[in-house]
């Protein structure tokens, strides 16, 4: 009970900090992108009441793994979904769609956790990971892929001032399907996995080697989130060595709150917005883009996966693709036009209200498979994989995330790593 009260406290101060970030940071720095404050008191306070109810429902989830994953995507997207409703004065109809999604998903998490509660005192046998042939193979493959990509596309980032130029240059390149997959898999699966295992087994020399090639991957196209992953891994491995998943998530929430406050001070004192921009991109913009999609597809034809897994069979009704059009409508002055989106916007954009209702069932199914796949892994490995995959989920379409966006590849790596470990142990 005491821990639940502290969790509620963490979520409350996190939302207060996030609201401040938008009011005094985002809406000032990115006013030229039309991300301005349009405060509506009734919607804002109604949002607070609903927020408290949703947090209390999340706290009631019994399964720690499920709770960690739902907290992760709620922190990264759900909180801003609720805050932006009152701070940007969005249409109440869109907020109802948002609310339907979260109620169904949280409800499914509660239902599953109640029917799958572990027996009192039951403990899961932990697999203590060490270097094996699979990880050595992945390291060699990661290095080869990096060298190939650097040779083909060059190192385009030399400083923070060149980030946008690198992104703009890369946007004009027509990537082949294989190159696109290699970039994504190397940066979000192979190297993060290797870094996680090396850090967790205290192989620090290998950690440094992996970071070198991770920096080279970043320098190709300037994807800052690819670097942030390593900060997340370090933080989670350090925290989960001493705390369980629930306490770890409270610490993460407090840590994000502290980073928000620090970024606001830096922005107000000397105009530094690098940290502010990174936090905005990670925890506000994904939730705000949901509303862009809801507004666009309330007035236009649904995609029916024609920009996702069915694009090889059917042509998209939008040229350029809908994510570019949405960005150009809502952020016409943006340097980079492509409003990539996951969760609610993706689901509504493909199937309307039916998508918002049915996708939570598919998400909970992926949670269940992921829990089974991480069975036997220690808490540090599980927490990192859960958090990374939830982060990737809110930034890309569901089926892209599932098939080529990292989910299935992580499942394969987890399976093979455990299989090889057990075989070597015998």
Window from 119-133, 171-185, 217-231, 345-359 with minimum mean pLDDT: 119-133
Measuring CA to CA, which residue among 31, 12, 33, 26 is closest to residue 84?
26
Whether residue 122 has pLDDT greater than 60: no
What value does the mean pLDDT take over residues 284-291? 94
**How far from 253 is each of 13, 168, 316, 389, CA to CA, in Å?**
9, 33, 39, 18
Contact 336, 164 (CB under 8 A): yes
Nearest in space to 130 (alpha carbons), one of 206, 231, 241: 206
- Distance, C-alpha 369 to centroid of its chain: 18
Mean pLDDT check: name the lowest of 2-6, 45-49, 185-189.
2-6
Could you give the percent of the chain with pLDDT greater than 90?
Answer: 69
Could you tell me the pLDDT band of residue 420, with boundaries at 50, 70 and 90? confident
On the question of pLDDT at 372 being above 60, the answer is yes
Would you place residue 157 in the very low, low, confident or very high pLDDT band (cuts 50, 70, 90)? Answer: confident
Can you give the pLDDT at residue 16? 98
Q: Give the pLDDT score at 207.
A: 96
Of 65-74, 98-107, 109-118, 227-236, give the lowest mean pLDDT range: 109-118
In this predicted structure, the answer to whether residue 121 has a pLDDT above a threshold of 60 is no
Q: Helix 344-351 and helix 92-115: axis angle, to 10°? A: 110
Q: Is the dihedral of CA 172, 345, 185, 204 positive or negative?
A: positive
Residues contacting 106, CB < 8 A, separation 6+: 54, 57, 58, 61, 70
Instruction: Say if residue 50's pLDDT is above 90.
Output: yes
For residue 127, the cross-strand partners are 377
* pLDDT above 70: percentage of residues in the chain: 94
CA 379/CA 376 separation, integer angstroms: 9
List, in order, residues 6 or more apart from 186 with CB less than 8 Å away. Answer: 142, 145, 146, 149, 217
Nearest to 411 by CA among 379, 346, 367, 358: 367
Q: Average model confidence (pLDDT) for the chain?
A: 90
Q: Around Cβ 154, how many Cβ atoms within 10 Å?
A: 13
Q: Token pair of 282, please?
A: 């990670």
In whole angstroms, what is the distance from residue 339 CA to residue 402 CA?
19
DSSP-H helix ranges across 60-128: 64-73, 79-87, 92-115
Question: 375: how many CB neighbours lie within 10 A of its CB?
Answer: 15
pLDDT value, residue 120: 41
Q: What is the pLDDT of residues 92-104, one digit of tens each?
A: 999 999 999 999 9
Predicted confidence at residue 426, as pLDDT, reads 64
pLDDT digits 0-9 by tens, 51-75: 999 999 999 999 999 999 999 999 9
**pLDDT at position 326:** 92
Domain ranges of the chain: 239-425
Tokens 């005491």 belong to 2
Output the pLDDT for position 1.
67
Please determine, for residue 160, whether its predicted confidence score (pLDDT) is greater than 80: no
Helices 64-73 and 353-373: crossing angle in degrees, nearest 10, is 140
Residue 119 has pLDDT above 50, yes or no: no
pLDDT > 60? residue 129: no
pLDDT value for 325: 92
* Token pair listed for 74: 């709620």
pLDDT bin (cut points 50, 70, 90) of residue 151 is very high
pLDDT tens column, 306-365: 998 888 788 999 998 898 899 999 988 876 677 777 799 999 999 999 999 999 999 999
Torsion angle of alpha carbons 397, 398, 403, 405, nearest 10°? 50
Neighbouring C-alpha atoms within 13 Å toward the C-beta of 226: 24
């Amino acid at each position: 009970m005491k821990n639940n009260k502290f969790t509620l406290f963490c979520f409350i101060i996190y939302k207060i900090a996030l609201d401040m970030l938008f009011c005094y940071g985002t809406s000032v720095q990115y006013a030229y992108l039309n991300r301005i404050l349009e405060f509506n008191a009734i919607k804002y306070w109604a949002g607070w009441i609903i927020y408290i109810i949703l947090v209390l429902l999340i706290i009631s989830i019994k399964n720690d793994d499920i709770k960690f994953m739902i907290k992760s995507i709620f922190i990264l997207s759900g909180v801003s979904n609720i805050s932006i409703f009152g701070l940007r004065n969005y249409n109440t109809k869109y907020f109802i769609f948002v609310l339907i999604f979260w109620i169904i998903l949280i409800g499914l998490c509660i239902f599953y956790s109640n029917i799958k509660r572990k027996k009192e005192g039951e403990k899961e046998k932990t697999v203590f990971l060490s270097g094996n042939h699979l990880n050595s193979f992945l390291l060699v493959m990661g290095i080869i892929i990096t060298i190939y990509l650097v040779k083909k596309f060059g190192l385009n980032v030399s400083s923070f001032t060149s980030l946008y130029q690198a992104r703009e240059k890369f946007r004009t390149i027509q990537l082949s399907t294989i190159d696109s997959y290699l970039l994504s898999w190397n940066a979000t699966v192979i190297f993060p996995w290797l870094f996680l295992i090396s850090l967790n087994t205290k192989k620090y020399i290998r950690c440094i080697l992996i970071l070198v090639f991770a920096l080279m991957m970043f320098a190709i196209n300037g994807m800052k989130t690819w670097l942030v992953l390593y900060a997340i891994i370090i933080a989670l491995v350090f925290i989960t060595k001493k705390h369980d998943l629930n306490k770890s998530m409270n610490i993460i929430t407090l840590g994000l709150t502290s980073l928000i406050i620090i970024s606001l001070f830096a922005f107000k004192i000397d105009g530094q917005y690098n940290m502010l921009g990174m936090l905005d991109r990670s925890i506000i913009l994904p939730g705000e883009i949901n509303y862009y999609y809801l507004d666009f597809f309330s007035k236009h034809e649904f995609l029916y996966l024609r920009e996702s897994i069915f694009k090889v069979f059917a042509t998209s009704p939008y040229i350029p693709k809908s994510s570019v059009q949405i960005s150009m409508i809502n952020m016409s002055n943006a340097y980079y036009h492509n409003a990539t989106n996951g969760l609610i916007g993706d689901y509504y954009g493909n199937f309307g209200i039916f998508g918002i209702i049915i996708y939570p069932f598919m998400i909970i199914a992926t949670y269940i498979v992921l829990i089974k796949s991480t069975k036997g892994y220690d808490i540090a490995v599980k927490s990192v994989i859960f958090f990374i995959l939830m982060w990737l989920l809110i930034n890309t379409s569901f089926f892209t995330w599932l098939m080529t966006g990292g989910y299935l590849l992580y499942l394969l790596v987890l399976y093979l790593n455990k299989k090889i470990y057990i075989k070597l142990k015998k």
